[in-house]
Amino acid sequence: MRDTTRLIDANANRAAEGLRVLEDIARFTLDRADLSERAKSARHTLRRAVETIAPNAVTSRDTAHDVGTTITTPTEFDRSAGLPDLVRANAKRAQEALRVLEESAKLLGKPSNDLESARYLTYDLERDILNAISATRCPQWKLCVLVSTDTCVHHTPSDVVRASISAGADSIQIREKSGSDRDLLARLTPLVELTNTLGAHSIVNDRPDLARLTRASAVHLGQTDLPIDRAREILLDDQWIGLTCASMDDIERAIECGADSVGIGPMFPSTTKPKPTIVGPDFARCAIDRLREHDIPHLAISGITPGTIPELTRVGVQGVAVSAAVCAAPDPGQAVHDLLEALRTGASETAKP
Distance CA 55, CA 341 (A): 67
Report whether pLDDT(64) > 70: no
pTM of the model: 0.68
Angle at 138 between CA 132 and CA 139, to 5 degrees: 95
Distance CA 346, CA 325 (A): 18
Q: What is the pLDDT of residues 115-168, one digit of tens each?
A: 999 999 999 999 999 888 877 889 999 999 999 999 999 999 999 999 999 999
Q: Which helix (H) or strand (E) holds 321?
A: strand 320-322
Q: What is the pLDDT of residues 181-229, one digit of tens each?
A: 999 999 999 999 999 999 999 999 999 999 999 999 999 999 999 999 9
Provide the pLDDT for residue 197. Answer: 95
Q: Rounded mean pLDDT of 82-98?
A: 91
Query: What number of residues does the chain have?
Result: 353
Provide the pLDDT for residue 30. Answer: 85
Q: Rounded mean pLDDT of 276-303?
A: 93
Non-local (6+) Cβ contacts of 160 within 8 A are 145, 147, 152, 326, 327, 332
Q: What is the pLDDT of residues 33-55, one digit of tens each?
A: 999 999 999 999 999 999 999 98
Q: What is the pLDDT of residues 9-36, one digit of tens each?
A: 999 999 999 999 999 999 988 889 999 9
Fill in the DSSP letter of residue 138: P
Report whether pLDDT(308) > 90: yes
Distance CA 294, CA 254 (A): 11
Angle at 19 between CA 14 and CA 24, to 5 degrees: 130
User: Got the DSSP string for 192-227?
Assistant: HHHHHHTTSEEEEES-HHHHHHHT-SEEEE-TTS--
